[in-house]
Amino acid sequence: MNLQFSERLLGLAIKTQEMSLWERMQPPEDISSSGHLIHWLFNYTTYVNLFWFALVCIGLFGFSYLYSNKRHKIPFYTHGNEKKHLLVTALIGLGVFLSVDMVITKISTRDMKETFWKFPGDNEDVVRIQVLAQQWAWNFRYAGADGEFNTGDDVVQLNSMVVPVGKKVMIQMTAKDVIHAFYLPNARIKADAIPGRFSKLWFDANKVGKYDIACAEMCGNHHYMMKAQLTVLSQEDFDRWVKESQQIAIATNDTEDINLRWGWQWGSK
């Protein structure tokens, strides 16, 4: 595992050196149908805060210039508690509150209710995956042909999650030891994996390729090793992968191996 991580790290370093500064500043490619919502809100927050920051800088340096000792030999002292001062302060504070806090709250609440918390139904055609986080790895489980989790034909993957393109993927997760955060940068989504309870998220991928999976929660000394790979295949290739992986799982199933028997009944609370 350490060797694989070192090889990936070396490859990333070489790729980074070949990229321009502007390319390195860009966010990861968005491959999901809902990632643009997060991206838009992030950009809005950044630009509005830059606007107010610019006004503060203009006021700070502008008044410092206009009322410098060179232009005003006799200083004028004020406590800034006159009605006009209080009114200006209140208006600026209200402007920041309405343009930043209220907009972010309104849009994020709408997106959560209408998209991110609108989970696929039980009868909907989705890919269901169980995720077990641990120091310092991600474990993935797919139900076998029987459709039941934690049985002998389950496909269990270490640090590798495979999904089909254009189909919703439902994730149910927990943690083995401490709190981790399952993060898909290219889908602009993440959720905590917490010991003793189950959490969930859903996403879809609209582009075939290989992408990163990371842990977004500081989980210990080797937190940097909590990296896995998301592989997005065409539906045909995914079906072939599932069939081959199930055959291998059945042939190599070891009922005594506790590392392979960590699943749970889907939908458990």
Q: How far apart are CA 89 and CA 249, in angstroms?
A: 67
Interacting residues of 189 by C-beta distance below 8 A, sequence separation 6+: 32, 34, 35, 38, 116, 183, 201, 203
Predicted local distance difference test score (pLDDT) of residue 123: 81
CA dihedral over 103, 30, 10, 245, signed as positive or negative: positive
**Of 60-64, 93-97, 224-228, 255-259, which range is least confident?**
255-259
Q: How far apart are CA 224 and CA 180, in angstroms?
A: 12
Residue-wise pLDDT for 191-212, tens only, equals 999 999 999 999 999 999 999 9
Which of 219, 125, 134, 222 minimizes the C-alpha distance to 169? 125
Residue-wise pLDDT for 105-151, tens only, equals 999 999 999 999 999 887 888 999 999 999 999 999 999 888 888 88
pLDDT at 242 exceeding the cut of 50: yes
Predicted local distance difference test score (pLDDT) of residue 67: 83
Predicted local distance difference test score (pLDDT) of residue 4: 55
Residue-wise pLDDT for 28-42, tens only, equals 889 999 999 998 999
What number is the average pLDDT over the span 87-101? 92
Interacting residues of 158 by C-beta distance below 8 A, sequence separation 6+: 137, 138, 139, 140
Q: How confident is the model at residue 11 (pLDDT cuts 50, 70, 90)?
A: low
Burial bucket for residue 232 (CB in 10 Å: 0-12, 13-18, 19+) = buried
Predicted local distance difference test score (pLDDT) of residue 27: 83
Interacting residues of 62 by C-beta distance below 8 A, sequence separation 6+: none
**Of 10-19, 109-118, 148-157, which range is least confident?**
10-19
Give me the chain's average pLDDT, please: 87
N- to C-terminal Cα distance for the chain?
32
Q: How confident is the model at residue 256 (pLDDT cuts 50, 70, 90)?
A: low
10 Å Cβ neighbour count for 20? 8
Q: How confident is the model at residue 1 (pLDDT cuts 50, 70, 90)?
A: very low
Greater pLDDT, 258 or 52: 52
Extended strands (E) in 54-144? 127-134, 137-142
The CA-based dihedral angle spanning residues 172, 226, 165, 26, taken in that order and rounded to the nearest 10 degrees: 120
